[in-house]
Structure 1
Amino acid sequence: MHSYLEVDNMLKRFWELEAEPPVTRKMLTDDEIKCEKLFKDTTKRNGDGRFIVRLPFRMANPDCMRGEFRKIAEKRLRNLEFKLQRNIKLKEDYTQVIREYLNLNHMVKVTDKDKFKKTAIYLPHHAVVREDKDTTKV
């Protein structure tokens, strides 16, 4: 038996595989371009040094500003309250997270004046439990 290998070709193919890919420009969609522009145009820092960024809506008057999402958020809240009543440990952990968010000013309590504002946006949420984390499991 006899075998012949082209060493030059093998080395060339090896280095082609190991070489870094050529630099390519990321092609952004129209929505991504608009979102990046909105971010650049509206991002500010408040007096505490925190960033304030407008939500990147695709349209000037998004569905979430028409009030339908308030009902969804309220339903999600009722489901969450029911779940927390059945699981006392989760309720304690969730309450602690909410208090921490309030203390860190990551969120603020809605005033009665703002509660039914037509331009209010309601974001439904739920507790996310991460058993794989040692800290901030909820």
Structure 2
Amino acid sequence: MKWAVRNDTLAGQVSDDELTGTSSDLQKTLTKFWEVEEVSVSKALSKEEIDCANIFVRTTRRNSEGRFIVTLPLKQDESTLGKSREQVEKRFYSTERRLSKNNKLRDYYVYFMPEYEELNHMSKTESCDNSHIEYFMSHHGVLREPSLTTKLRIVFDASCQQQLVTG
């Protein structure tokens, strides 16, 4: 069986051979269409993905300001985070040296810190004790002069290698 598509506006531009096809061509096209449109079956979740979803459901809440408060899903016990303070202090002093050499970067940093504090993206730690586990995350700034909106982008390094706590 053959089918044909005709359009008077194409008359004289396309030959009859280009407008005809076989039913097998149509069948292939329709089959491909339904394969693309088919709803995929979701794969089974891994144990790690299930654990993560359970932590999210069990601990996620909203505070009085409507912000979401979430617990970070850790793959291991939080004691494996290690001692981050010493490494972060070294990076802090390195950042201070860098800021002392670049006034423009320092000015953007001075502007950024109170803004992050006001947005509750960070908070000042008054004192540290060893009664509970604390994790400090180092950060540094990347200056992007050509940017119209954000000249300083802050990069947080949560994967920084830490000294592990030993018993």
2:49 pairs with 1:32: yes
Q: What are the superposed Cα offsets for residues 24-51 of structure 1, whole Å, 9 maximum, x if unpaired? A: 2143322222111101100111122111
Question: How far apart are residue 11 of structure 1 and its match?
Answer: 2.6
The structure with the largest strand share of the pair is 2
Q: Aligned residues: percent identity? A: 34
Amino acid at match of 2:139: H
Distance 2:143 2:28 in 1: 48
Q: What are the superposed Cα offsets for residues 34-86 of structure 1, whole Å, 9 maximum, x if unpaired? A: 1111011001111221111112112233422x42x222211221221122122
Structure 1: unaligned runs, 5 residues or longer:
none
Distance 1:75 1:9 in 2: 70
Q: Relative contact order: is structure 1 or structure 2 higher (C-alpha 8 Å, sep ≥ 6)?
A: 1
Distance 1:99 1:26, change over 3 A: farther
Distance 1:94 1:17 in 2: 55
- TM-score, normalised with respect to structure 2: 0.66
Where 2:151 maps in the other structure, the secondary structure is coil
- 1:91 corresponding residue in structure 2: 106
Amino acid at match of 1:93: Y
- TM-score, normalised with respect to structure 1: 0.78
**RMSD (CA atoms):** 2.4
Where 1:36 maps in the other structure, the secondary structure is helix
- 2:39 corresponding residue in structure 1: 22
- Decide which structure has the larger Cα Rg and report it: 2
